[in-house]
Structure formats: C-alpha cells, structure tokens
Homo-oligomer: A and B are copies of this chain.
Amino acid sequence: MSTALDEVKWDKDGLAPAIAQDAVTGDILMVAWMNRESLEQTLKRGEAVYWSRSRKKLWHKGEESGHAQKVSEIRTDCDNDVLLLKIEQVGGIACHTGRRSCFFQKLEDGRWVAVDPVIKDPKEIYK
C-alpha cells in the first residue's frame, strides 16, 4: 500500500485535489484536498478523510455533520496528481450549505446562480 500512496504526485504542499463523486448517480458532490496521511486514513476507515487547508488538520468528513462518505472506489488520473473517490453520501448532503452537492452555482447570463435547493438548514446540521 505504501507504494501506491507514494506514487501519487503530491504537490509542493504535500496535497492533491480529491473529487467525491456519487458512486451511483455520477453526480460530483465536492472537491477537497488530501495529503498522504488522509488517503491512508481513508483506506483504513473506508470513509473519506481529507486535509483541511483552513484548519490545517485531518478532516474526517461528517465528523460534525454526520454526513460521512463511504468510499467504494478510488482512482487517480494519468498524471497521478488528482484523486477520484466514488462514494455513498450519508444523509444525502455533502455541502456545508445543506445542499446535496457543493456545485450548486451555475453560470447563467454572466452570473453565478444558485440552482439547487437547500435540503436541510445548516443550523440544523451543525448544532
């Protein structure tokens, strides 16, 4: 396993972008960052663990919200510098805004428009 972890081309900060994709629908739910340790933890737990760049620490997705991500498959691209996680999104909500996906803003006539509904009020998620 250590070989596969070392074959990822971590950037100068030791990070790689990681895409979380719904394993069934193919919807892209979020993009976060991983370092070597977070990928190792993800493999051990079977749930997504990222590196929080703002908090500068490992982030077991769902640790506060309960919205964990069960990982069924991990891929990397031809450059080995991006990770793709196929996941099952617990609670059906990946975004801290209470939406299913973080990619809810669509470019329409030169403006970013929030086109997807809030499923649950964030105040009810992060108590």
Which A residues contact B (CB, under 8 angstroms)?
A: 1, 3-4, 7, 17, 19, 21, 25-28, 30-31, 43, 73-80, 82, 84, 95-97, 99, 102-107, 110-112
Contacts and interface: CB of A to CB of B under 8 A. Distances in A.
Given A26-B26, A28-B84, A78-B105, 13 more contacts: A1-B110, A4-B110, A4-B111, A17-B31, A19-B28, A19-B31, A43-B107, A75-B103, A76-B105, A76-B107, A77-B103, A78-B97, A78-B104
A4 B104 contact: no
Given A4-B111, A17-B17, A111-B4, A75 B27 contact: no
Number of copies: 2
A17 B103 CA distance: 13
A107 B43 CA distance: 10
A3 B111 contact: yes
Contacts of A107: 4, 43, 73-76
A112 B83 CA distance: 12
B30 A77 contact: yes
